[in-house]
């Protein structure tokens, strides 16, 4: 659509906030600690406030949501690493059949792999638009990889 001068970047803004809420809620339901659950709810609330302020000030809908994406991906990495430590410390968990391992690992790979690219998106888009096409292929490779990790996690057997 962008090649036909149809600007649909606003969809990415909406996807960022909805994806963030869904992923943090997923981690919320996986955790047993009341303390961590409250922190996650506070993080969601603060992010929604930040997102609304960003859309009305420094992150308009006609540019990519660089700051929101940086915040979300950083929080994903922190939540996924925290979950991996928790799961790996559990000696009764078979790692290859634990969906949390696969989904958290895929999320770390994708978030860490695209964090730098997303942070420079608007600069690259304005100064080197042809480079953006190459970078976008890297993004799609990471999307395919994270989708495979998520699919593997979904196919894990339920614990008995």
pLDDT digits (tens, 9 = 90+) for 109-159: 999 998 988 888 878 878 887 887 788 888 899 999 999 999 999 998 755
Rounded Cα gap, residues 156 and 83, in angstroms? 17
Judged against a pLDDT cut of 50, whether residue 160 lies above it is answered with: no
pLDDT > 70: percent of the chain:
93
Which ranges of the chain would DSSP assign to H, the alpha helix? 9-30, 34-56, 66-89, 99-119, 121-127, 129-154
CB atoms within 10 A of CB 151: 12
User: Closest Cα to residue 87, out of 107, 104, 75?
Assistant: 104
What are the residue boundaries of the structural domains of the chain, listed by start?
Answer: 2-154
Which has the higher per-residue pLDDT, 6 or 152?
Answer: 152
Q: Give the pair of three-digit tokens for residue 5.
A: 């001068």
For 49-62, what is each residue's pLDDT tens digit?
999 999 999 988 88
For 96-111, how does the pLDDT look when each residue is reduced to its tens digit (9 = 90+)? 888 999 999 999 999 9
pTM, full prediction: 0.86
- Residue partners of 80: CB distance under 8 A and separation at least 6: 27, 104, 105, 107, 108, 111
Q: Which of 42-46, 67-71, 155-159 has the lowest mean pLDDT?
A: 155-159
Q: Residue 12 has what pLDDT?
A: 86
């Amino acid at each position: 659509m962008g090649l036909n001068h149809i600007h649909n970047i606003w969809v990415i803004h909406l996807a960022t906030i909805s994806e963030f809420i869904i992923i943090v809620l997923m981690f919320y339901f996986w955790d047993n600690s009341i303390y961590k659950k409250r922190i996650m709810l506070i993080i969601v609330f603060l992010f929604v406030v930040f997102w609304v302020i960003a859309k009305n000030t420094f992150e308009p809908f006609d540019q990519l949501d660089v700051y929101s994406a940086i915040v979300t991906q950083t929080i994903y990495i922190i939540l996924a690493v925290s979950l991996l430590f928790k799961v790996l410390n559990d000696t009764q968990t078979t790692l290859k059949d634990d969906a949390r391992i696969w989904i958290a690992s895929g999320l770390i790979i994708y978030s860490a792999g695209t964090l730098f690219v997303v942070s420079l998106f608007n600069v690259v888009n304005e100064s080197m638009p042809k480079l953006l096409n190459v970078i976008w292929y890297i993004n799609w490779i990471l999307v395919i990889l994270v989708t495979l990790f998520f699919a593997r996690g979904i196919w894990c057997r339920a614990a008995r």
